[in-house]
Amino acid sequence: MKAGMDEATWLKGMRKKVEEEMAKKEMETILYWKGEVEKILARRPESLGTLQIEIQNLTQRMQNRIKTLKTSWQA
């Protein structure tokens, strides 16, 4: 803690900094997956079945990423 800064002020500042960082990371994540969905739409799948496969592939990639993150948190 810096000299002259009480604990409550420091805690408030740190909380704000953490919340801002979390919001930034969330925005980056949403933008990434939005881009992935836009890629699927840009390919213009020929049929509903093709679109379903593309969406299944995307959800599988998302699930794999979730598993990787869970593993890294537990390590």
Instruction: Say how many domains are in the chain.
Output: 1
Average pLDDT of span 13-28 = 94
Q: What is the value of pTM for the model shown?
A: 0.68
Q: Which domain holds residue 11?
A: 7-74
14, part of any domain:
yes
16, part of any domain:
yes
Comparing CA positions, the residue from 28, 29, 27, 1 lying closest to residue 14 is: 1
More confident call, 74 vs 36: 36
1, part of any domain:
no
Give the whole-angstrom CA distance, residue 39 versus residue 68: 23
Per-residue CA distances from 16 to 4, 20, 22, 36, 73 (Å) = 19, 6, 10, 31, 23
Give the whole-angstrom CA distance, residue 58 versus residue 12: 39
- Per-chain mean pLDDT for the chain: 89
35, part of any domain:
yes
Q: Are 24 and 18 in contact (CB under 8 A)?
A: no
More confident call, 46 vs 2: 46
